[in-house]
Amino acid sequence: MTGTLNIRRVAGALGAEITGVDLAQPLADDTIAAIRQALVEHQVIFFRDQDLTPAQQVAFGRRFGPLNIHPYVAGMADQPEVMEIIKEPSDRINFGGGWHSDMSFLETPAIGSILYAVELPEWGGDTLFASQAAAYDALSPGLKATLEGLNAVHSASREYSAQGASAQKRGSMNVAEADGYVGEYVHPMVLVHPETGRKALYVNPAFTLKIEGWKTSESKALLDYLFNHCRYEGFTCRFSWRPGSVAFWDNRSVWHFALNDYPGQRRHMRRVTVDPWPQVAKVAAAAE
């Protein structure tokens, strides 16, 4: 328990559920600090029975940093920071399916995402989370030493190209193709968390193209090994949504996977994504 917050761990590698707080209300600085501490300690935190308007979700997210406006998915007309993630009963592809870390394809990746459940299917639609800090910890000393000096190239080109899974989600979401203007950005394969100092792997199947300075064919064997290792069930937790549920995860050390196991049903979520404060981003870039 922290102040008025009750924090209950939900799995061994990551995840905690927090009760005793109404996220729609203006929260005291010490409450925000306690939530932030829970986030960095547990990597993903969950809240139940919340009632958030888009504006209230934006206000809560801004307590942790400036909010990102997605470069390829249009936000709400009056709240561009809010992305509506919708799968209609007729849709076959869902947004966010497959293991990934949000926004690693940007020059300065996001630090966290806050997802709110508006409408859910009768069954299915859970989200899986995987701790990349636990994945790093489980590596051998030799592989850790090898990865310490390596960087990886990230890009949205594969996921948001005309053939990419996300770009094909146009029936119920305003998703643009990334062809022709997407960039490539280099990030360390081992990321040191700026608030905890804990190391985590920072590659993901959706947005990591190759290892910097290596051919794509040379990179494939090592990246495929890491991708398989990083989703080991012992590093994961699973969240079953209810209307009014909120998940807040740390993109610096967490993968997630939105399950697409509810054919013929509707799922409607809202997401805001938190960027680092500018001075923090500069420090992180200098460290890289």
Domain boundaries, the chain: 6-156+183-287
Q: What average pLDDT does the chain have?
A: 91
Is the Cβ–Cβ distance between 207 and 156 less than 8 Å?
A: yes
Summarize pLDDT for 101-158 with one digit per residue, the tens. Answer: 999 999 999 999 999 999 999 999 999 999 999 999 999 999 999 999 999 999 998 8
Residue 24 DSSP code: T
- Span between the terminal Cα atoms of the chain, in Å: 36
Summarize pLDDT for 177-212 with one digit per residue, the tens. Answer: 555 456 899 999 999 999 999 999 999 999 999 999
| Burial class for 167, CB neighbours closer than 10 Å (0-12, 13-18, 19+) | buried
Is the Cβ–Cβ distance between 255 and 100 less than 8 Å?
A: yes
Name the residues annotated as catalytic: 100, 102, 256, 271
CATH among 3.20.20.100, 3.60.130.10, 3.50.50.60, 3.40.50.620 for 6-156+183-287: 3.60.130.10
| 229: CB partners within 8 A, 6+ apart | 135, 138, 139
Summarize pLDDT for 52-107 with one digit per residue, the tens. Answer: 999 999 999 999 999 999 988 889 999 999 999 999 999 998 999 999 999 999 99
Query: CA-to-CA distance for 197 and 194, rounded, in angstroms?
Result: 6
Amino acid, res. 187: H
What pTM was estimated for this model as a whole? 0.92
